[in-house]
């Protein structure tokens, strides 16, 4: 098992990519702190891990609240003794308005919420997690960005800005803490078959499938395998990197 005797914290682990990551970590022997704002989904992930013989606990967290990030790390260390791995996965694609707008028409509320969750949420996570990893003697952090960390499309300006910011934070943390044994990387999912696409019509989904050369949506498990590798000792010389898992979207 790649992560035997390690403890991992995953935000947004109640569904989709986060759930797949939590399950992959548990499969490889890690104790998992399943963190989410969705209590039902988070408890569901814990149940799936337990049914497979793994160890996991649930922690309610709104990643845009620094104190809740600190509480999640405290729970990990209190229950399992240390924190070795963190995956900052929680994110949203749309603000309180429930609509996508051209940049000049974006409401301040939508802008603030996207930045608070997607960008500040990663910063608050890093701020809480890094001291715990240093105390444990080092470890790995993987931030879930997006292909929109290196591209842009109309109507999603706040999302694009937030994900570009995640990549910058990843690189800044990587160069600051590499000499202390903490590796920080980012993955860039393309269009993945998760609840975040539930607002799309069948016709829109067909268009989305055609955006990548592979011609289909990705699966959450395909992102999880990349995160698992980056979190393991198999990636021991890898830090500050950005790894698209996008079916060739960025290669076009």
Hey, which residues are catalytic here?
A: 159
* Cα–Cα distance measured from residue 9 to residue 31, given in angstroms and rounded to the nearest whole number: 9
Residues 6+ apart with CB under 8 A from 79: 31, 33, 57
* Cα–Cα distance measured from residue 143 to residue 166, given in angstroms and rounded to the nearest whole number: 7
237: phi then psi, degrees, rounded to nearest 5: -110, 20
- How many residues are present in the chain? 252
Residues 6+ apart with CB under 8 A from 149: 163, 164, 166, 167, 186, 188, 242
Structure tokens at 202: 């069948």
Q: Count CB neighbours of 250 within 10 A.
A: 15
* Cα–Cα distance measured from residue 153 to residue 57, given in angstroms and rounded to the nearest whole number: 38
Q: How far is CA 5 from the centre of its chain?
A: 22
Q: Are 136 and 86 in contact (CB under 8 A)?
A: no
Cross-strand pairs, 182: 139
């Amino acid at each position: 098992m790649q992560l035997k005797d390690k403890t991992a914290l995953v935000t947004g682990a109640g569904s989709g990519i986060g759930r797949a990551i939590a399950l992959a970590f548990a499969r490889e022997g890690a104790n998992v702190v399943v963190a989410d704002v969705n209590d039902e989904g988070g408890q569901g992930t814990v149940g799936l891990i337990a049914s497979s013989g793994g160890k996991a606990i649930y922690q309610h967290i709104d990643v845009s609240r620094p104190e809740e990030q600190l509480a999640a790390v405290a729970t990990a260390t209190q229950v399992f003794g240390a924190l070795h791995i963190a995956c900052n996965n929680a994110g949203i694609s749309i603000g309180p308005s429930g609509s996508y707008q051209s940049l000049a028409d974006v409401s301040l509320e939508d802008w603030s919420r996207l930045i608070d969750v997607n960008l500040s949420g990663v910063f608050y996570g890093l701020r809480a997690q890094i001291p715990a990893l240093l105390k444990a003697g080092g470890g790995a952090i993987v931030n879930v960005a997006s292909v929109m960390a290196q591209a842009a499309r109309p109507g999603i300006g706040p999302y694009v800005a937030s994900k570009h910011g995640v990549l910058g934070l990843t690189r800044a943390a990587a160069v600051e803490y590499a000499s202390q044994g903490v590796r920080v990387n980012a993955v860039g999912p393309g269009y993945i078959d998760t609840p975040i696409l539930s607002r799309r019509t069948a016709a829109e989904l067909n268009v989305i499938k055609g955006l990548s050369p592979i011609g289909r949506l990705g699966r959450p498990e395909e992102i999880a395998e990349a995160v698992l590798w980056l979190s393991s000792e198999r990636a021991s010389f890898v830090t500050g990197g950005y790894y698209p898992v996008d079916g060739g979207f960025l290669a076009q």
